[in-house]
């Protein structure tokens, strides 16, 4: 049975207690959009003699979160150097002690982060190759220690999305259909991972959304939003769920909240466009039976016309801007 536990099983823990506690605190800061505090906490870990290589991994996660929040690439060179450093540290563990689940976990996480970054940059084939490399590393680590549930986050995500995205190949038996196993690994990670439980819950939200298991997706999203009320990660997720359900009124309420929050601390306006696009879609549907929503859509368009959107962002969001301002 899947439970949202506040303390994970730590039998045969793979991380020292103090490190595990610090890493979970850093994860919380990131999900709560308290990125400066996350950076300070990572800095404090890095000052310890012979810091654990997972500290470098978490700095890379922070840089990825900062770039996603800003929709910029300014940290990418440093981000890629960190990933190389994580893999070097993992190689050292393998060289010193033979096969190591922890080393394969680190390699898999580095490849997975590299895949995500390549995908966001439009390098689809590079993202696929890095994702497959991550899957191989996770599989090796899982073979060494199937009770290392943090590996289950990566392996579960890989097996589920490989089965979904590679559906044609699963039909022709070139790939195994491992959707069910992927979900089960994510459930185990959400219950028992040492440093990845929240990330596993987050992954399950998107899996349940893809499976149209909307009730379960909403339950997990609301739980996580209550846990991290200052962050927008789970507000965005809730909006996406309501959009998929064609619950236009609920979705509109969520995206209106997002727009208010991103407008309160304007950046490059990428997310302003995202929220406005979703609101215009909702208002268009609602206006068919409730005409005042048409005026609300007009207000959104007028608001966006006053935003000093950088040309780079206009190019990235040209289709959505055209839809909004048509």
In contact, 224 and 31? CB cutoff 8 Å = yes
Give pairs for 240-244: CB < 8 Å, separation 24+: 240/209, 241/209, 241/214, 241/217, 243/278, 243/281, 243/282, 244/209, 244/212, 244/214
The closest alpha carbon to 59, from 33, 85, 88, belongs to 85
pLDDT digits (tens, 9 = 90+) for 260-304: 999 988 888 999 999 999 999 999 999 999 999 999 999 999 999
CA distances from 244 to 163, 208, 213, 218, 282 (A): 21, 12, 11, 12, 11
What percent of the chain lies above the pLDDT cut of 90? 76
CB 251 within 8 A of CB 243: yes
**pLDDT tens sequence across 238-260:** 999 999 999 999 999 999 999 99
This prediction's pTM: 0.90
Closest of 181, 139, 150 to residue 12, by C-alpha: 150
**How confident is the model over 193-232, as pLDDT tens digits?**
999 999 999 999 999 999 999 999 999 999 999 999 999 9
How far is the CA of 271 from the CAs of 29, 50, 176, 236, 316, in angstroms? 20, 39, 37, 10, 12
Banded pLDDT at 2 (limits 50, 70, 90): very low
What is the distance between the alpha carbons of residues 147 and 192, in angstroms, rounded to a whole number?
9
- In CATH terms, 14-145 corresponds, of 3.40.50, 1.25.40, 1.10.10, 1.20.272, to 1.25.40
Q: Is 17 helix (H, G, I), strand (E, B) or coil?
A: helix
Instruction: Write out pLDDT tens, residues 296-312.
Output: 999 999 999 999 999 98
Q: State both tokens at 189.
A: 């990670």
Which residue's entry shows tokens 């601390």? 265
Indicate if the pLDDT at residue 235 is higher than 60: yes
Q: Does pLDDT of 10 surpass 60?
A: no
Judged against a pLDDT cut of 80, whether residue 138 lies above it is answered with yes
132-146 average pLDDT score? 95
Report yes or no: 237 and 221 within 8 Å, Cβ to Cβ. yes
- Average pLDDT over the chain reads 90
Q: Are 153 and 199 in contact (CB under 8 A)?
A: yes
Q: What are phi and psi of 300, to 5 degrees?
A: -65, -45
**Eight-state DSSP code of residue 99:** S
Q: How large is the average pLDDT for residues 59-76?
A: 91
- Give the pair of three-digit tokens for residue 254: 């969520």
- Note the pLDDT of residue 61: 96
Of 130, 187, 147, 108, nearest to 9 (Cα)?
A: 147
- pLDDT tens digits for range 108-134: 999 999 999 998 878 888 988 999 999
83: phi > 0 → left, psi -120 to 50 → alpha, else beta; which? alpha
pLDDT of residue 8: 38
- In whole angstroms, what separates CA 230 from the centre of its chain? 16
CA distances (Å), origin 277, targets 116, 239, 292: 24, 12, 18
Residue for token pair 């979705």: 251
- Give residue 20's pLDDT band: very low, low, confident or very high (50, 70, 90): very high
CB atoms within 10 A of CB 311: 7
* pLDDT per position as a tens digit, 150-204: 999 999 999 999 888 765 444 434 456 789 999 999 999 999 999 999 999 999 9
Q: What is the pLDDT of residue 48?
A: 65
């Amino acid at each position: 049975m899947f439970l949202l536990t506040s303390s994970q099983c730590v039998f045969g823990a793979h991380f020292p207690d103090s490190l595990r506690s610090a890493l979970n605190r850093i994860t919380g800061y990131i999900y709560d959009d308290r990125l400066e505090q996350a950076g300070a906490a990572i800095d404090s870990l890095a000052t310890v003699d012979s810091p654990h290589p997972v500290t470098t991994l978490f700095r890379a996660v922070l840089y990825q979160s900062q770039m996603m929040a800003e929709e910029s690439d300014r940290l990418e060179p440093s981000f890629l150097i960190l990933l190389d450093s994580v893999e070097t540290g993992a190689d050292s563990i393998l060289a010193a002690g033979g096969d190591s689940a922890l080393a394969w976990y680190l390699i898999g996480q580095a490849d997975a982060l590299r895949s995500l970054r390549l995908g966001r940059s439009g390098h689809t084939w590079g993202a696929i190759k890095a994702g497959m490399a991550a899957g191989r590393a996770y599989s090796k680590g899982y073979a060494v220690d199937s009770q290392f549930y943090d590996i289950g986050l990566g392996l579960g995500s890989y097996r589920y999305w490989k089965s979904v995205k590679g559906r044609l190949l699963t039909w022709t038996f070139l790939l195994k259909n491992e959707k069910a196993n992927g979900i089960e690994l994510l459930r185990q990670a959400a219950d028992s991972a040492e440093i990845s439980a929240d990330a596993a819950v987050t992954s399950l939200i998107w899996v349940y959304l893809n499976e149209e298991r909307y009730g379960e997706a909403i339950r997990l999203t609301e739980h996580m939003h209550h846990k991290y009320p200052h962050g927008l990660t789970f507000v965005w997720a809730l909006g996406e769920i309501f959009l998929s359900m064609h619950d236009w009124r609920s979705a509109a309420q969520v995206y209106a909240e997002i727009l208010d929050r991103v407008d309160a601390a304007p950046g490059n306006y990428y997310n302003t466009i995202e929220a406005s696009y979703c609101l215009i879609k909702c208002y268009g549907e609602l206006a068919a039976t409730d005409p005042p929503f048409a005026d609300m859509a007009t207000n959104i368009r007028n608001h966006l016309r006053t935003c000093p959107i950088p040309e780079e962002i206009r190019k990235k969001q040209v289709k959505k801007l055209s839809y909004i301002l048509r």
